[in-house]
Amino acid sequence: MDAQDKKIATDLSYEIIKEVSRAIRPYVGKPESGEKVKMGADGTPTSLIDIIAEEKVINILKNAPVLSYIVSEEIGELKLGKGTKKSISLTHELRRDDIEDEDKPKFIFLVDPIDGTSNAVKEIPAFGISIAVANVPDGRLATLNDVELGFISNFANGNFFEAEKGKGCWLNNEEVHPSTNINISNMTLGGFTKSGTSAASQLVDNARRMRVLGSVVLELSYVASGRYDAFLDLRGSRILDIAASKLILEEAGGIITDKYGEKLNSKLSIHEKVIVVAANNKILHKQMIDILNDNQTDFIGKIGIASRIDQDRPILFSAKIIDYLLTNGREVIIEKRLAKKLEEMKTNPNLDKIIERTKKQYPDIAHLLDNINFKIDYKQISCGILDFDCDMVIVLGGDGTLLRAQSKLKPEIPIFGINMGTVGFLTEIEARDTFIALDDVLKGDYYKEKRTKLVVSHENNHYSAMNEVVIMTEKPAKMLHFQIKVDGETIEEVRADGLIVSTPSGSTAYAMSAGGPIVDPKVGGFIIIPICPYKLGARPFIVSDNSEITVKLLKKGKSAVFVMDGQRNEEAEYEEEIKFKKSHKNVYLIRTSTKYFYKKVKDKLSEGGINNNRC
C-alpha cells in the first residue's frame, strides 16, 4: 500500500467514523435501539443500532471511487465501490486468478461498526467503532499481518486512536505508549475469562484490579495507551474486534499473542476467532503466559502410558515407570495391549532371565531395571487408548510409536516421549534419563511444544497426519502424474515416483530423505516434495500453512495409495483430488528444555541417523 493508497483509505475511514457517529447519536440510550432485528453474519444477534451504523459504512464504501472488500459484523463479506455492492466469500475471491486489474479491489476493510452495543443502548460510556485496513494480497489468503492501518473511536468520549504499520500509534494526535509496570500484583487487567478456568482465576487473583467494560476494541486500545497494563479474552475474540486494536497495540509497543505466546496471524474472515493475551511489555506478558499455561499443567495428576510391545525392554521399562508414578501419588492408566503383555510377563517363569538378558543388551539402563515391582493389577488400570482422559501420556518407543499414539489420543493431550526406537527425533529423552526428567515434569518444570497437524480430505473422508502424507503407486517402479495446486493456483505438474506433503515435524523424516529442507517446527508452513521427479526443474516447495494444497492424479488408469504418518493407507483414483489443510487441533509435546530442535538435529541426524548409545 503506497502513500497515495494509504491517504485514500485513511480519508474513507475518517468519513465512516464521522458519519456513523452522527447516525447513531439519536439512538444511544434508547431501549428500542437494542431490539434484536436479525442474526448477524458472524452468528451473533444484530440490534437496530448496529444496522443503522453498518448501513452508513456500506453506503460510504459503495459510493467510493475505489473498489474494496469489507468484512463486517452484521452483513458479512462484500465487494463495494464505484456504485456496486456484491456479496462475496473473501477466501474464494482472494484465490481467484481471473479478476481483471480494473476489477481488483485496493483494500480490505474490517469493520465493527459498534463494539459495545449493549453499552451504547444503556448509555454506558464504552462503545465505539473499529476499522482496520489491509492490503489485498496477490495469490494468497489475507491475514492479520496484512493490516496496514487501524482506527478506533470511542463515541462516548471522543477519544480517537490510529496507527500505521511501522510508524507508531497516536491518541488524539499525540503518540502513546503502554505503561511500564512489570509486576502482576500491581497490574490493572481487563478482559473476559471462561467461568471455572483456574488459570484465569489465579491471574485475576494476582492482579491489583480487574476491569470488564464489554468492549474488546476499546480495552485493547487502553493497554496501548497505558490505561490498562494487560488484557485477555479466553472466550476467543473475533478477528473483526482485534484487527485494528492489534495493530494499535503493537505500534504503541505492546505485546499481543495467543494463550501459548504465539503471534497472531489468523486469516481475515468473518468466522475467525482467536484467544487473546495482551500486555504492556514482554516481562509482564511472559508472567501471564506462564500462569495461564502452568496452572493447567503444574500438577499432573493422571498419566497415561502407551508403549511398543514387540520388545522386552519397553515392556519392562513401562512396569518400572508405572510403579514410580503410583509411588509418587499419581493416578495411572495404561493401554490395554500393554496391560496384557505385562500380565503375561509377570507370570512368565523365565522373568528373571528376561530381565538379566535385557540388562546385558542395554548396560546403560541395567540399574534402572533392578527391583521392578510386578505386584500390580495391570488389567484393572487399563483401557483403550481412544478412551484415555488424562493430563499427560508417556509413550515408550520411537517416532512410529509416538505417531501411532497421538493419532488415537483425544486432541491436545500432551505427550512425553521416551526413546525406545532407533532415532526417536520426536521423543523427548533417552531411556537412561527417564526418571530425572520425570522428576522435573512432575514438579511442573517443563514446557509444552506445539506441533502443527494436517487435515487430509478425500472423497468426503477426512484424516489427519502429524508428520507427512506420502502419495505413491501400489506397484513399485511405476510413476504417477500429479497436478499440485496451492490456494487454487497450479504451481506444478510433474511425473514422479510419489509426492510428500509434510509438516515441519515431518521435515526431519521421509521428507528430509527425499531431498526436502529441515524446517524449524515454529515455522508456519508445509513442504511439498516430489519423490524422484522426471523433471529437471521440479524442486521442493514451502508454502504457508494457512494455504490449502490440492493434489490431483492426472494419468488415466493409474491409482495411488496415500499413507498418513506410515499408519494408515487409503486409495485415490484418476482425477480424484486429495486436499491438505492445517488442522484446528495441534499436538503438544512435553519438553524439559527450550533448546530442543537444533540440538536434536545435531545429535540425531548424524551418521545414518542412529544414536551410538543403544539405550
Q: Which of 50, 233, 399, 497 is catalytic?
A: 399
Residue 557: strand, helix, or coil = coil
Q: How far apart are CA 250 and CA 580, in angstroms?
A: 32
User: Among 390, 302, 308, which Cα is nearest to 341's?
Assistant: 308
Q: How far apart are CA 130 and CA 404, in angstroms?
A: 46
In the beta sheet, which residues pair with residue 276?
A: 233
Phi then psi dihedrals of residue 176, to 5 deg: -125, 160
- The H or E element spanning position 325 is helix 312-327
Instruction: Measure Cα distances from 406 to 128, 412, 415, 466, 602 in Å.
Output: 45, 9, 8, 8, 25
The residue ranges of DSSP E strands in 155-208, in sequence order, are 160-164, 168-171, 174-175, 188-192
User: Among 137, 129, 132, which Cα is nearest to 239's?
Assistant: 132
Q: How far apart are CA 52 and CA 54, in angstroms?
A: 6
Q: Which residues contact 28 (CB under 8 A, 6 or more apart)?
A: 49, 120, 121, 123, 127, 155
Question: Is the Cβ–Cβ distance between 216 and 237 less than 8 Å?
Answer: yes
Q: Could you confirm whether 258 is annotated as catalytic?
A: no
Listing DSSP states for 498-518 in one string gives EEEEE-TGGGGTHHHHTTPPP
Give the cell for residue 446. Answer: 517443563
* Pairing of β 382-383 and β 331-335: parallel
Listing DSSP states for 430-492 in one string gives EGGGHHHHHHHHHTT--EEEEE--EEEEETTEEEEESSEEEEE-SSTT--EEEEEEETTEEEE
Active site residues: 399
